[in-house]
Structure 1
Amino acid sequence: MLTVLPLSNESASDRASVLRVFVEAASYTALVEGRPPSESDVDDFFFGKPVSKAFADKTVFGFYAGQDMIGCADVIRAYPAHDCIWIGLMLFSEGHQGRGYGRAALRLLFEMAATWGYRTAQLAVVATNARAYAFWKREGFAEIRRASNARFTGELIVMQRAIL
């Protein structure tokens, strides 16, 4: 069973748990940025947001199997449209990938988003992360455009789906 809890940057324990997830999913930063995970990933997870959005529009979550945080996600509300959430990142430790936790986590995020009144979800996948792209496609996301960002090792594939 997977549970979700909000995280706080002010909690040393939450920050350490997020860093552990990044370290335990080291192939993610290698694939999308060509480098190992670092403390800067934790800062970006807690504080990274579109320039047009306020920090109050961002919520970060931990996903737990029992007492252990095995994954994390961040959500920007009302972005890029008023009825849409943006999933900035959803990441699980490699030992917990491929076990159904991603699908369960997405369901939990969609349940929250629906109670907040949102109808669609968008995200961007780096083209070099084929496994993530395949996951999002299986979950019903469809490509709506492509973009580039010098920070990443490949094109950004922007995807969208309805929140049901």
Structure 2
Amino acid sequence: MQDINLINGYKIKYLSKENNNIVEKLCEKCSDYYILHGGILPSKEEIDEIFITLPPNKSCKDKFVLGIYKFDELIGIVDIIKDFPTIGEWMLGLMIIEPEARGNGLGKIAHEALVGWAKDLGAKSFRIGVIEDNYKGINFWSSLGYTKIKEVNMDFTTKKHIVNVMRLQFCN
């Protein structure tokens, strides 16, 4: 993947385990997300899992861990699994943006660029899970055209949540 240039010096590019230090710092800045979901800050092992955790029957070639950068500073992470749970549907496992960079349209701009990139690689839709208590997240994804397709109960680090599984079907 070539870097995806957004606006005003923002870009999306691949992250690797070698970027672990800056990913850890970003996750600390996004403590509100981790507290809401798991009740605690992520451990170093959980941060490592961003790079290695795969669903059943998927390999590392199916996983994309991408960074959203403002110039040379990492301000967001997107974790995507292609063709999961079905061929053509891609799972957004994680999308976080540091609090100071939220609320200015960056999430929407990055998402639009990712949709174009994924469509070029054969994706027909994106799927995401949003915990029911994440009202801002549900509003954000709904504003992008995602619709709820089901609910599942999930256990997180120290909390249990109802997760809204949402899908965005791409237009041709």
TM-score, normalised to structure 2, is 0.89
1:162 pairs with 2:166: no
Given the alignment, which residue of 25, 35, 40 partners 2:40?
35
Q: Trace 1:43-122 onto structure 2 (pairs within 5 A).
A: 43-122=48-127
Which consecutive residues of structure 1, in runs of 5 or more, have no partner in the other structure?
none
Give distance in 2, aligned partners of 1:54 and 1:31: 29
SS of match in other structure, 1:5: strand
Give distance in 2, aligned partners of 1:83 and 1:114: 9
Q: Which residue of 2 aligns with 1:21?
A: 26
Give distance in 2, aligned partners of 1:92 and 1:41: 17
1:6 pairs with 2:11: no
Tell me the number of residue pairs that the alignment of Structure 1 and Structure 2 aligns: 161
Give distance in 1, aligned partners of 2:113 and 2:28: 24
4+ long deviations beyond 2 Å: none
SS of match in other structure, 2:104: coil
Give distance in 1, aligned partners of 2:92 and 2:170: 12
Which consecutive residues of structure 2, in runs of 5 or more, have no partner in the other structure?
1-6
Kindly, what percent of the aligned residue pairs are identical?
25
Judged with a 3 Å threshold, the aligned counterparts in structure 2 of structure 1 residues 129 and 59 are, in CA distance, closer, same or farther, namely same
SS of match in other structure, 2:36: helix
Q: Given that residues 31 and 153 in structure 1 are in contact (C-alpha distance below 8 angstroms), is that contact kept between their aligned partners in structure 2?
A: no
